[in-house]
């Protein structure tokens, strides 16, 4: 079948779905959906997952539906159904972006967002997907479409999304369950409420912990590098500042490869050794790290750079 025909057909289906959603927006309200799903009996969970999966590509926020899932199906099944619906919806948006509406998505998102996505996936692969699922750097629905334009494989995208959306899905599902128990006057209402509050609080702390873990992977403290140099560890330090900056003062044993020359001089860098990149602060080093990672080299950025080193009064060579 002609590819353009398929694109046109899918685009038409999306437009129809959007129109139907707008015309029936009152019916999509969780308060209206709950009794309908209860009346559906054994088909209720299936309908719920289908609705969740359909709402995600249509850019309709799913937080209220997630809470409703907890109220209707409990903390365990509610989490499973919410996570399944969210993953299916995210996958649909990813597929539409990659195979059908890539040009439209590019125009809508702009080059800034897409560049961050491209660079993140290029350097970190599936871990970048995991990171942005745990840390809301971009809106959930925007991420689904943007990631479809990157090089991440579909299987990696689906697995990383499912696994790393699970913590937030469980927290908000349990919140819905606890709220329903409180309204029903259940015996454990207070206990469930405290657990829900703790889970929601944890969701505010988790992104900070994840960011620290990610920074530990990308950066190395200047103090640690200094200890290695002083103990004779012979770390392989590459200074990406200009030659003029380098001769004014550089770390002991550092090699100078200015950032503009990095592409043509990558062959000079030792393979198999961790590269400790340093510049004035850490901006140029971060750019250099991305380039080296693409070449399969192990590289980290020295936090604070030479500026921090000088402030501490640590020795430099000239």
The per-residue pLDDT string of the chain (318 residues; one tens digit each, 9 = 90 and over) reads: 455 555 555 555 555 554 544 444 454 555 566 677 777 778 888 888 888 888 877 777 777 788 888 888 888 999 999 999 999 999 988 888 887 766 666 666 666 666 667 767 766 778 788 887 877 666 777 788 888 888 888 899 999 999 988 888 888 888 888 876 666 565 665 566 676 667 767 667 666 766 666 666 678 888 989 999 888 888 899 999 999 999 999 999 899 999 999 888 888 887 777 889 999 988 888 888 878 877 777 888 998 899 999 999 998 998
Q: Strand 275-278 and strand 299-302: pairing?
A: parallel
Q: In the beta sheet, which residues pair with residue 317?
A: 250
Distance CA 112, CA 129 (A): 17
CA atoms within 13 A on the CB side of 30: 15
Cβ proximity of 309 and 222 under 8 Å: yes
Q: How many CB atoms lie within 10 A of CB 105?
A: 20
User: In angstroms, rounded to a whole number, what is the distance separating the alpha carbons of residues 144 and 138?
Assistant: 10
- Do residues 148 and 98 make contact, with C-beta atoms less than 8 angstroms apart? yes
Phi-psi region of 271 (alpha: psi -120 to 50; beta: other; left: phi over 0): beta
Residues of the chain with CATH 3.40.250.10: 221-311
Class of domain 221-311: alpha beta
Spatial separation of the C-alpha atoms in residues 19 and 10, rounded to whole Å? 14
CB 268 within 8 A of CB 240: no
């Amino acid at each position: 079948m002609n590819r353009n025909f398929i694109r046109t057909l899918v685009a038409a289906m999306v437009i129809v779905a959007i129109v139907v959603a707008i015309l029936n927006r009152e019916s999509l309200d969780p308060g209206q959906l709950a009794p309908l799903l209860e009346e559906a009996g054994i088909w209720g969970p299936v309908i719920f997952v289908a609705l969740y999966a359909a709402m995600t590509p249509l850019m309709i926020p799913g937080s209220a539906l997630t809470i409703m899932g907890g109220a209707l199906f409990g903390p365990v099944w509610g989490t499973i159904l919410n996570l399944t619906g969210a993953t299916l919806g995210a996958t649909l948006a990813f597929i539409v972006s990659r195979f059908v509406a890539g040009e439209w998505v590019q125009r809508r998102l702009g080059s800034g967002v897409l560049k961050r996505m491209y660079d993140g996936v290029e350097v970190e692969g599936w871990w970048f997907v995991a990171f942005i699922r745990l840390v809301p750097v971009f809106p959930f629905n925007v991420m689904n479409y943007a990631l479809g334009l990157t090089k991440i494989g579909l299987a990696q995208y689906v697995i990383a999304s499912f696994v790393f959306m699970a913590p937030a899905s469980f927290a908000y599902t349990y919140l819905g369950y606890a709220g329903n128990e409180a309204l029903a006057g259940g015996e454990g209402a207070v206990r469930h409420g405290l657990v829900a509050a703790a889970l929601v609080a944890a969701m505010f702390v988790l992104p900070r912990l994840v960011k620290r873990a990610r920074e530990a992977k990308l950066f190395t403290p200047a103090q640690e590098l200094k200890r290695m140099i002083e103990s004779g560890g012979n770390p392989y330090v590459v200074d990406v500042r200009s030659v003029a900056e380098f001769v004014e003062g550089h770390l002991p044993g550092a090699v100078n490869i200015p950032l503009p020359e990095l592409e043509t001089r990558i062959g000079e860098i030792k393979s198999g050794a961790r590269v400790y990149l340093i510049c004035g602060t850490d901006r140029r080093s971060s750019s250099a790290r991305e380039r080296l990672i693409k070449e399969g080299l192990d590289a980290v950025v020295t936090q604070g750079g030479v500026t921090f080193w000088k402030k501490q009064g640590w020795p430099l060579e000239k």
